[in-house]
Amino acid sequence: MIDVYASRREKLLAQLPQDSVVILVGNTEKVRNKNILFPFRQDHDFYYFTGYAEPDAVAILRPDSKQRFVIFNQPNDEYQEVWFAGRAGQQGAVEQYGADNAYDIAELEARLPELMAQRANVYYSDELGRYHHRVFDWLANQRKAAKFDEVKAFRHLINVLPLTQNMRRVKDEHEVSLIRKAVDASVAGHQHLMKMCQPGRTEQQLTAEFYNVISQHGCTDVGYPTIMAAGNNACCLHYSENKDILRDGQMLLVDAGGDYQYYTADITRTYPVNGKFSSEQKDIYQLVLNALDAAITTVNPGASWNSMYPKAMEVLAQGLLDLGIITGSIEQVMEQELYKPFTLHKTGHWMGLDVHDVGAYHQDDGQWLTLEPNMVFTIEPGLYFPRHCEAVDARWRGMGVRIEDDILVTSTGCENLSRKAPRTIKDIESIMGC
């Protein structure tokens, strides 16, 4: 495991001039209320390069030094061990995480001058936090000192995030294996919900059921707030109240993914609460599924990131025309984007440590990014008809349908990682017992 993080650090350092230093700052604990803390979550860039998941840590990376990886962290503490949990301490940072050296975080400012001596380029993130402020204050003081001694102070403060985010956009094999486990656990959760769904149950009950299943499959949390949206609630894209009763005749939209060792899944399925699609529900659902499948066919190495969006919109636009929801020629509909009041969002996003993972979608010249093997992202077309939408017949109102799969780009095309979560009308009705 140490080798995974070491190889990432080496890949980052290989991109930098020799007279550089990288400063990575971890997260601190946050108070929920009084002396109760929120569950700790490490900064994802910090975790990506170190694997270190304790609060209050700073990592120093240097390309031309025997001590290429130095950690400042909290020391071992008997009180901490009694009340909360043990810490790695400085010895653990070296033995468990592969640091070349480690120091007490209290020594940060005192030791930075030595570690940064003769470094012209300081790579640093522009995030804010307790230790970010400490480092920034120290850097500001060094800048002032530079007026009197140019040799001792750095010349360039450079945002490291573009480099780290470009690396995170293409997953390594270790990351892909963890994403698979997150997706597999989430698929099991979605399958279970389809079996449990029936009129009279509540969104909250099903939210708890999903969490229970993914926990049994090794997830420690969800990757984002679960969207359990019955009926018209599905027309609110990030609905999260999850408190309504499921009613006969409604559709249920479930957007939920488990978090497995910091990596998340992001899967959406929509199905009838009573287990049987009505005629109108079938029409809209099948249209969205057709758009999803069409978008997936565009995914292969060398394709444009944006190739999936127009493909999905063409299918949705033609379907809306066929159903009489919009009127005109397909050329007119596409040119004027008459489908947009019902589609509301783009068709996907990167996925990994973050559910909306980091990494640009455009190249430096403004062109859409080209897909590469081991990129992972979602494809998630949807159609939404709020109950107050007078632009459509009453039979369509109060219905929102989104279907979302997790896609891995391969050397020859792509793999739908979430394909085992039922997605066809036949398979959904079958698992729901109809």
Q: Domain end: 139, 168, 197, which one?
A: 168
User: Are residues 264 and 349 in contact, defined by beta-carbon separation less than 8 angstroms?
Assistant: no
210 shares a domain with 354: yes
On the CB side of 333, CA atoms within 13 Å amount to 22
> Which strand (E) or helix (H) includes residue 322?
helix 308-322
Calculated CA dihedral for residues 354, 359, 361, 362, nearest 10 degrees:
170
Q: What is the percentage of the chain residues whose pLDDT exceeds 70?
A: 93
Contacts of 300 (CB under 8 A, 6+ apart): 371, 409, 412, 413, 414
Distance from the first to the final alpha carbon of the chain = 46
DSSP structure class, residue 200:
T
Q: Domain end: 119, 152, 168, which one?
A: 168
387 shares a domain with 280: yes
- Overall average pLDDT of the 200-219 stretch: 99
138 shares a domain with 183: no
Provide the 10 A C-beta neighbour count for residue 411: 9
The tens digit of pLDDT for each residue in 264-275 reads 999 999 999 999
Contacts of 24 (CB under 8 A, 6+ apart): 43, 45, 46, 49, 50, 58, 59, 60, 61, 125, 160
- Overall average pLDDT of the 196-209 stretch: 98
Q: What's the pLDDT band for 126 if we cut at 50, 70, 90?
A: low
Q: What's the pLDDT band for 77 if we cut at 50, 70, 90?
A: confident
By residue range, what is the domain housing residue 78? 2-168
What pLDDT does residue 148 have?
A: 43
212 shares a domain with 127: no
The tens digit of pLDDT for each residue in 178-192 reads 999 999 999 999 999
Q: What's the pLDDT band for 150 if we cut at 50, 70, 90?
A: very low
pTM of the model: 0.95
Locate 303 and state its tokens: 């394709």
What is the spatial distance between Cα 227 and Cα 342, in angstroms, rounded to a whole number? Answer: 19
Which residue shows structure tokens 């978090």?
259
Angle, helix 161-169 to helix 2-13, in steps of 10 degrees: 130
Which residue shows structure tokens 């969006």?
309
Give the domain CATH number at 303: 3.90.230.10
291 shares a domain with 411: yes
Give the domain CATH number at 44: 3.40.350.10
105 shares a domain with 181: no
- Overall average pLDDT of the 425-431 stretch: 98
The tens digit of pLDDT for each residue in 351-360 reads 999 999 999 9
- The mean pLDDT value of the chain amounts to 93
242 shares a domain with 274: yes
The tens digit of pLDDT for each residue in 85-100 reads 789 899 999 999 999 9
389 shares a domain with 283: yes
208 shares a domain with 155: no
Q: What's the pLDDT band for 154 if we cut at 50, 70, 90?
A: low
On the CB side of 383, CA atoms within 13 Å amount to 31
The total domain count for the chain is: 2
94 shares a domain with 239: no
User: What DSSP string runs through 271-308?
Assistant: EETTSS--HHHHHHHHHHHHHHHHHHTT-STT-BGGGH
Q: Domain end: 168, 203, 237, which one?
A: 168
